């Protein structure tokens, strides 16, 4: 455990505290997870904030969610016959189908991973 130092501001003694600096970043799914925890799972959110594990958790959720969405999109595209040939022949149709597949995959991943405790 580290020693806490204090400073005096306007007659009030305050601790010199800093949040740990980290190189981790979070993306779309990590941000959604943070909002979910903050709104619906306050105890878990507060405990992670106090323990300093929230950023690591959000980063891991974001990474896993992105990987799962990409894998699901690839599997569904293969099953539906959405391939490079269709992309070359009809790019508009290919884009629409890929967007639909991505939305479907995201819905599943959000419910299974991001909104799960």
Lowest pLDDT segment from 11-15, 90-94, 111-115: 11-15
Q: Are 25 and 56 in contact (CB under 8 A)?
A: no
Average pLDDT over residues 1-24: 79
What confidence score (pLDDT) does residue 16 get? 83
d(CA 30, CA 111): 14
pLDDT tens-digit profile of 29-85? 999 999 999 999 999 999 999 998 999 999 999 999 999 999 999 999 999 999 999
Query: CB burial class (10 A; 0-12, 13-18, 19+) of residue 26?
Result: buried
Residue 21 has pLDDT above 70, yes or no: no
**Domain coordinates in residue numbering, the chain:** 21-114
| pLDDT classification of 1: cutoffs 50, 70, 90 | low
Report residue 58 as tokens: 């959000």
């Amino acid at each position: 455990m580290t020693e806490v130092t204090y400073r005096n501001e306007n007659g009030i003694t305050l601790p010199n505290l800093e949040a740990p600096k980290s190189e981790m970043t979070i993306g779309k799914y990590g941000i959604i997870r943070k909002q979910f925890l903050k709104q619906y799972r306050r105890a878990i959110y507060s405990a992670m904030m106090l323990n300093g594990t929230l950023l690591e958790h959000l980063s891991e959720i974001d990474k896993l969610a992105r990987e799962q969405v990409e894998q699901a999109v690839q599997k569904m595209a293969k099953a539906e016959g959405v391939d490079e040939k269709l992309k070359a022949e009809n790019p508009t149709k290919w884009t629409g189908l890929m967007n639909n597949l991505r939305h479907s995959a995201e819905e599943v991943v959000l419910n299974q991973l991001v909104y799960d405790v």
